[in-house]
Each structure stands twice: as structure tokens, then as C-alpha cells.
Amino acid sequence: TADAAQFVPEGKNWAALRSAAAGCRGCDLFRDATQTVFGEGPVPAPLMMVGECPGDREDTAGHVFVGPAGRLLDKAFAAARISRDDVYLTNAVKHFRFTERGKRRIHQTPRRGEVVACFPWLREEIRVVRPELIVALGSVAAKALLGPSFKLTEHRGEVLEHDGLRVGVTVHPSAVVRAENFTEALDAFVADLVALKKS
């Protein structure tokens, strides 16, 4: 089956990776999405954070975390005293997956096959960014980095060592946006970020 590997140039820098990713057809998601949304931030960077996949706003803008999840992330960063400019932000999957409902495009969780297909890009980002810690935001990112049987609920807030990487895990900012008890969910997310930042 297809994956991104055939589109990934060997041993290239971030800018070359980003432009190559713009032409990726490693899975079917490129067909309906507007564009590839590659990761962004300092290269190298001590801290990398990995989300799920771009949302509606990211798909249109071509930048990571510029929609509602991004606003929540900015709020949490401020509370955790993390500067967004210091973090390399990316996603496990680089194209928006959605269904259309009238004029609205509703986000859909990427399938395991799409996460696997897209992983060569994330692997290359890790190679050039050389983070000391990678924070997986939510279960899709955690499973991309730690394997499909990983259970976020059992390891939330922990740092795990896997394949030579240090991976900290917490929830996805969208889960905080949707939480019934928003204030509590935000506080818990900020507490995770503060603890992970120190580890």
C-alpha cells in the first residue's frame, strides 16, 4: 500500500522537506484537502508538540493550530508560561480529513492507515528538529509515536521512552474545548504541560 516514503527526499533540511510534502500523495487525503499543512517552529527545537491532523481553518490557511484548537493551545501556553515561538508544532497527519455537511466541513479522525502512511514526514521532522522531548497531544499522536495499543487514559502526563525518543503524553486541545467542565479540563491540561515542560 502507498505511504509518504516515496515522496520524502533523503537527508534534506526542513525547507526541502516542507516543499516536498506539498506534493505528497502518500494516502487519499490529499484529494479533498486544500493543501499539505507541514509543521512549523524553530529548527532545531528542544520541544516538539504533535497534534492529530489539520482542521478546517488550518487546511485553508496552510498553518498548524490557527483555529479553535490553536486558540486553546495559546491560552494553555500562556498559563503554562510556554512561548509558542519556542515550540515546533506539527501533526501526525498532514492533510485535513473531513466529511461535508451542507456547507460545513466536519473534521474526522484520521484512520490508522493514514497515520501510518504519513509517519515518514513526522520521522523526518523529528530528525531535523532533534527535540529533547516530544509531547503527543491526544491519542492519535500518541499512537503514531508509541504504537497502536497505547492507551492515553493509562499514561496521561507521563514521559515514555520509545525508539530512542522521549514522548510525553497529554490530551488534545480540542478535547479541552469540548469538555463539559471546561475550567477543570483546561487546568488539568495546563498542569500536564507545566509538568512535561520540566521533565
Q: Which residues bind ligand URA (CB under 6 A)?
A: 51-55, 58, 64-65, 67, 69-70, 91, 174
DSSP state of 35: -
Residue 135's beta-bridge partner residues? Answer: 49, 168
Decide which of ligand SF4, ligand URA, none touches 18; Cβ closer than 5 to 8 Å per partner kind: none
How many Cα atoms are found within 13 Å in the side-chain-facing hemisphere of 13?
4
CA distances from 177 to 11, 74, 142 (A): 38, 12, 19
In the complex with ligand SF4, which residue's Cβ is closer, 29 or 89?
Answer: 29
Told to check if 116 binds ligand SF4 by CB under 6 A, we report no
Grid cell listed for 117: 502512511
In the complex with ligand URA, which residue's Cβ is closer, 66 or 194?
Answer: 66
Considering only residues 17, 52, 76, 95, which one is a binding residue for ligand SF4 as defined by CB under 6 A?
A: 95
Decide which of ligand URA, ligand SF4, none touches 58; Cβ closer than 5 to 8 Å per partner kind: ligand URA
Measured between alpha carbons, how far is 145 from 90 in angstroms, rounded to an integer?
Answer: 13
Note if the bond before 46 is cis, omega within 30 degrees: no
Binding to ligand SF4, residues 19-38 (CB under 6 A): 21, 24-27, 29-30, 36
The sign one gets for the Cα dihedral 124, 126, 128, 129 is positive
Decide which of ligand URA, ligand SF4, none touches 98; Cβ closer than 5 to 8 Å per partner kind: none
Q: Which stretches of the chain bind ligand SF4, using CB under 6 A?
A: 4, 21, 24-27, 29-30, 36, 93-95, 114, 117-118, 121
